[in-house]
Structure 1
Amino acid sequence: MTEKILLVDTDPGVDDCAALMMLMSQVPKVKIVGITCAAGNVGLRDVTINTVRIVKLFDMLNEIPIFGGCSEPMVLLPKTKDAAFYHGRDGLGDAHDVFPERSESLLDHVQAEHGVDAILRLSKEYAGRLQLICLGALTNIAMAAKIDTDVPKRIKSVHILGGTIKGYGNATPCGEYNFYTDPEAAYTVFRMFPQHCKTEVVPYETTVAHGIRPDLLNKLMSVDSKRAQFFKAIFAAAKVYEDRKIDKGVSPGYCLCDAYVTAIVLNENAVTKSKSAKVAVEISGLLSRGSFIIDHKNKGSPFLSSEDVTIIEELDDAICEDLITKAFTEKR
């Protein structure tokens, strides 16, 4: 089987952690050629330290290069918010003392090369083979494509967590957090990539509908391993928030949003229902900035992507659960 060549763009975030754990548990079946970080759930310094902690958890700091990327969105507006209320002030539940412990010295493991430059270089080195897994704001990806407009032509596929299908937002009434964090970047990516490479989006409602069963995740977090102990510690605060949603019937399980993007890359059979449409992201509007616009009825607009994007609507829960289970239990 052909090896998957992956570059992950991320902003950890406890759900980013779950996604990275899923990926690293599949090495060497997949090759992770780099992880680029961008401000998103929390600031760039924190998400970069968090990424190093997660890679260190899997003892892969010598195998997977980590790059610091953009520290703010393409257009920084007043009162831009982060997601510290959910992920903790540091992005990983403020669980500083669980192994691998949080330390500023972890930044020594970050490459000197900027994340955008790394995307440019790796897109050439692995031209036609590189798959982008986009778990946060799309700032790094958009900036790379703006610097070199041939980047999308060299990418095999792009897999994005973001947007909504029906406008049920988690950042604004109709806006999903990743796209709301940098609407201009998301708009740019959809204008530049779909005409050249496969582009998939896992919207927020899809991730909510396929929450991880509480009994399964609680069982996995009780496993006697460093991986389980780490995730249990960083997820503790977010778990309280998720438990309230489950108790109210808002969600059937724990919503580890980024994990589902990883799942569809690792196993294409995880997708059981999808649709294709031209899309865009709203970059203005008092209430609609950052909203994912889907041309459901093919009305057309010059502001939409020139080619269709695949929108993931339903997933195979058994496949997703198997992959998340391996993230906690499988040894290389």
Structure 2
Amino acid sequence: MSAPRKIIIDTDPGQDDAFAILLALGSPEDLEVIGVTSVAGNVPLARTTLNAQMVLELGGRPDIPVYSGCARPMVRALFTAEYVHGDSGLDGCDLPSPTAPLGTGHGVDFIIDSLMAAEPGTITICTLGPMTNLAMAMVKQPAIVPRIAEVVLMGGGFFEGGNTTPAAEFNIFVDPHAAHVVFTAGVKLTMVPIDCTYKALMTPAWLGELRALGTRTGVQGAGMAEFYQRFGNQKFGTDRYPLHDPCVIGYLLQPALFSGRHCHVAIDLVSPLTGGMTVVDWWNVTKNPPNCTVLRELDNDAFYALMLERLARLP
């Protein structure tokens, strides 16, 4: 058997971020989480950092270090999403304060140091929020770029439009300049946009199965998901709401569950109407060289079966 794939999770928890982290923790034969970096996004940095620590302890892995990262986007002011995630970012659960200390140093430096110390092509970066930390790492130390195995991100949208403005998805909208740095860096890049994640529909039946696990992870996870689902109920008028960020980890675990196309993606930095949009050249009309694999479809039943099976392993 091959060794687990080494990943750094860059995150702004967020209930769906929490599920992504837990899915990775439940898959140790496939993924080795060498560290977690927090970034301001769904809620401010102090809270995303605390949330990342608490989720790791919920999953039984307080030994995985959390490094606090960037408190604001590269250029613009911070925009947050308490209207979706609640004031804590993890409303719906009751988690104790973390016992493990924060990692020493800044999240950007942890990304740089980890990549420079490892064999090239052995660490994958999973970004679940705004891409500020990774972009700042690339700017501070460009030598890391060819050493990254792959960047897999949840962010962007095209065919479905946006979820924060009519054109822009939240993670890219919050820091489009960071996304531009990453998308133009020449790194191997896989994007899981809302065109794909909107099809990752969490059902009431699945939530019932999760709670019925009876574990701490199952009960607290179900509470988080039920709170998160309320926003979806209001927005879509349905009881089936997507969990976005776990799709990044699901793709790493079972890429055959997903399909997409290698194409050129650019970030709109200037338009007052479409700023933060990921402009996906799906039909290759510009003839610009592809820079990203854009996922668009997934097998929803198999994805949620995988997630339940892996979450059931956790305490």
TM-score bracket for the superposition, by shorter chain length: over 0.9
Q: Which amino acid aligns with 1:179?
A: I
Partner of 2:299: 316
Deviations 1:149-193 (A, max 9, x none): 12110011110111112252111111100000000000110000x
Aligned counterparts of 2:99 and 2:74: Cα–Cα separation in 1: 24
The separation in 1 between residues aligned to 2:294 and 2:73, in whole angstroms, is 24
Alignment of 1:237-276 (within 5 A): 237-245=227-235, 248=237, 253-271=240-258, 273-276=259-262
> Is this contact kept in 2: 1:167–1:173, CA < 8 A?
no
The 4+ residue runs of structure 1 with deviation greater than 6 A are: none
Give the match for residue 10 of structure 2: 9
Aligned residues: 313
**Deviation, structure 1 residue 107:** 8.0
**Residue type of the alignment partner of 2:268:** E
User: Is the 2:62–2:100 contact (alpha carbons within 8 Å) kept by the matching residues of 1?
Assistant: no
Per-residue deviation, residues 271-327 of structure 1 (Å, max 9, x unmatched): 1x21111111111111111000112343438xx7x5431000111223311221024
Q: Residue 124 and residue 69 in structure 1: after superposition, are their counterparts in 2 closer, same or farther (change >3 A)?
A: same
State the distance in 1 between where 2:38 and 2:99 align: 12
- Give runs of aligned pairs for residues 230-241 of structure 1, distance below 5 A: 230-241=220-231
Task: Tell me the distance in 2 between the aligned counterparts of 1:148 and 1:299.
Answer: 34
Give the CA deviation at 1:90.
1.1
Go from structure 1 to structure 2 and tell me whether the alpha carbon gap of 1:15 and 1:280 turns closer, same or farther (over 3 Å shift). Answer: same
Equivalent in the alignment of 1:82: 80
Query: Which residue in the other structure is 2:114 paired with?
Result: 122
SS at match of 2:198: helix
Residue matched to 2:270: 284
* 1:86/1:237 contact within 8 Å kept: no
1:38 aligns to what? 39
CA distance in 2, matches of 1:288, 1:256: 25
Which residue of the partner structure matches residue 206 of structure 2? 216
Structure 2: distance between partners of 1:108 and 1:220:
27
SS in 1 for 2:201: coil
Partner of 2:101: 109
TM-score by length of 1: 0.89
Sequence identity, in percent? 27
Distance 1:300 1:151 in 2: 29
Letter in structure 2 aligned against 1:205: D
Superposed counterparts of 1:82-231, under 5 Å: 82-93=80-91, 95=93, 98=94, 100-101=95-96, 103=97, 106=98, 109-126=101-118, 127-192=120-185, 195=186, 197-231=187-221
Structure 1 gaps of 5+ residues are none
TM-score (norm 2): 0.93
Q: Distance in 2 between matches of 1:29 and 1:312?
A: 21
Distance 1:329 1:94 in 2: 19
Decide whether the 8 Å contact of 1:222 with 1:228 is kept in 2.
yes
1:60 aligned onto 2:61: yes
Task: Tell me the CA shift for residue 242 of structure 1.
Answer: 2.2
Displacement of 1:108 in angstroms is: 5.8
User: Secondary structure of 1:322's partner?
Assistant: helix
